[in-house]
């Protein structure tokens, strides 16, 4: 009879929230610092991590940093004090991790990164990264626009000579935003049709629906009839922008073509309603791969430095058929 113990360590006075899942006499104790709950994607990522921890019988100490890097650093320091076997985290931004990861290294606690990338002076400060290829997602996004315009012979509205694109960028300094932006821009500059297009405006919406709506409202205020395409770095900002486009009396998905990244259920619903055109999948279901890799590390097995999860692309015409199969 497996002895089951419920461990619930509430956040200490640092404004952090810690929760420990039902912990059996698990083989390993793993501390995980999550960014927050900024998007449908993130909440799906968190749900999958917690469920995978149970499947892998890991004692998970989970911390939600509420979108603040300093909370992630505090949480990692707490994990070190708790002498966890391994530390996992999603770096909210790429830089600023060297010192805290040196503390983990001194404590001989391996670090496994999930989802986003980080930049450190010494690559040995983390063992590996499980995640998503944001550069390729951005590249796929422009390549889709290029082929869509070619196929439909989309013309600029308002008699303009250039097809105007506006961009809602993700969190400033995050690898997801940097990667998608670089991938998009490199594909744009490599295109034989690049002279057809112009980036009219580009601004961060911080990956949230609310800010996506606000920034799109500002784009529309100054360029109501001069926006042909919206590229949003995630679906949540696209969903916010859709509300702004409708409020401005325009038809999202028709007057303004919309492409975004993630592949969450909300954007499938919008595509079914004809309000968005395509989503570039970014898979949040990384929990099993994370814990499998963590156990290999803890057993002294070698693991690849970087592993990407599978990702596809879904256009509006398949949304109705695919939505029931979506897991997030």
DSSP H or E segment with residue 289? helix 287-298
Name the H helices within 34-131: 40-55, 69-81, 98-106
Length of the chain: 328
Q: Binding to ligand GZL by residue 115, rule CB under 6 A? A: yes
**What gap in Å lies between CA 295 and CA 82, rounded to an integer?**
19
Three-class secondary structure of residue 265 per DSSP: helix
Residue with smaller CB distance to ligand GZL, 86 or 130? 130
DSSP state of 215: H
Burial of 96 (0-12, 13-18, 19+ CB in 10 A): middle
Number of residues that bind ligand GZL (CB under 6 A): 15
Q: Binding to ligand GZL by residue 139, rule CB under 6 A? A: no
Residue with smaller CB distance to ligand GZL, 38 or 94? 38
Q: Binding to ligand GZL by residue 143, rule CB under 6 A? A: no
Site for ligand GZL in 234-273 (CB under 6 A): 234, 236, 261-262
Residue with smaller CB distance to ligand GZL, 46 or 164? 46
Piece in contact with ligand GZL (CB under 6 A), picked from 36-44, 58-66, 183-191, 251-259: 36-44
Piece in contact with ligand GZL (CB under 6 A), picked from 38-46, 52-60, 144-152, 241-249: 38-46
Which of 175, 105, 187, 84 is CA-nearest to residue 144? 187
**What gap in Å lies between CA 213 and CA 13, rounded to an integer?**
34
Member of 282, 294, 297, 319 binding ligand GZL (CB under 6 A): 282
Piece in contact with ligand GZL (CB under 6 A), picked from 33-41, 63-71, 211-219, 286-294: 33-41
Member of 69, 71, 132, 279 binding ligand GZL (CB under 6 A): 132
Q: Binding to ligand GZL by residue 48, rule CB under 6 A? A: no
Q: Binding to ligand GZL by residue 219, rule CB under 6 A? A: no
Piece in contact with ligand GZL (CB under 6 A), picked from 35-43, 69-77, 161-169, 302-310: 35-43
In the chain, beta strands by DSSP E: 4-5, 17-20, 23-24, 28-34, 58-64, 86-89, 111-115, 128-131, 163-169, 197-204, 229-232, 257-262, 278-281, 306-308, 313-315
Burial 215-253 (b: 16+ CB within 10 A, else e): bbbebbeeeeebbbbbbbbbbbbbbbbbbbbeebebebb
Member of 18, 38, 71, 149 binding ligand GZL (CB under 6 A): 38
Member of 87, 166, 176, 267 binding ligand GZL (CB under 6 A): 176
Shortest separation between residue 5's beta carbon and ligand GZL, angstroms: 33
Q: Name the site residues for ligand GZL (rule: CB under 6 A).
A: 38-39, 41-42, 115-116, 132, 134, 176, 207, 234, 236, 261-262, 282
């Amino acid at each position: 009879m497996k002895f089951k113990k419920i461990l619930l360590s509430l956040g200490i006075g640092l404004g952090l929230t810690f929760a420990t899942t039902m912990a059996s006499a698990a083989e390993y104790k793993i501390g995980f610092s999550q960014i927050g709950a900024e998007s449908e994607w993130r909440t799906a990522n968190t749900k999958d991590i917690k469920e995978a921890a149970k499947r892998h019988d890991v004692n998970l100490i989970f911390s939600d940093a509420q979108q603040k890097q300093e909370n992630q650093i505090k949480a990692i320091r707490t994990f070190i004090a708790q002498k966890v076997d391994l530390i996992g985290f999603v770096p909210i931004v790429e830089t600023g991790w060297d010192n805290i990861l040196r503390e983990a290294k001194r404590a001989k606690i391996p670090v496994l990164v999930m989802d986003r990338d980080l930049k450190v002076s010494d690559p040995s400060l983390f063992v590996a990264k499980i995640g998503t290829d944001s550069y390729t997602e951005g590249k796929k996004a422009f390549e889709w626009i290029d082929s869509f315009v070619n196929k439909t012979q989309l013309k600029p509205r308002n008699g303009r000579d250039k097809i105007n694109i506006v961009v809602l960028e993700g969190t400033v300094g995050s690898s997801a935003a940097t990667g998608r932006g670089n991938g998009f821009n490199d594909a744009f500059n490599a295109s034989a049709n690049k002279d057809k297009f112009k980036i009219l405006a580009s601004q961060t919406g911080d990956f949230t629906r609310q800010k996506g709506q606000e920034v799109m409202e500002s784009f529309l205020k100054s360029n109501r009839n001069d926006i042909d395409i919206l590229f949003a770095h995630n679906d949540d900002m696209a969903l916010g922008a859709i509300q702004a486009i409708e409020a401005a009396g325009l038809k999202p998905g028709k007057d303004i073509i919309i492409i975004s990244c993630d592949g969450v259920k909300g954007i499938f619903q919008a595509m079914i309603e004809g309000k968005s055109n395509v989503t570039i999948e970014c898979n949040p279901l990384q929990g099993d791969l994370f814990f499998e890799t963590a156990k290999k590390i803890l057993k002294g097995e070698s693991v690849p430095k970087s592993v990407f999860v599978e990702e596809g692309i879904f256009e509006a015409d398949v949304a109705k058929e695919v939505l029931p199969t979506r897991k997030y």
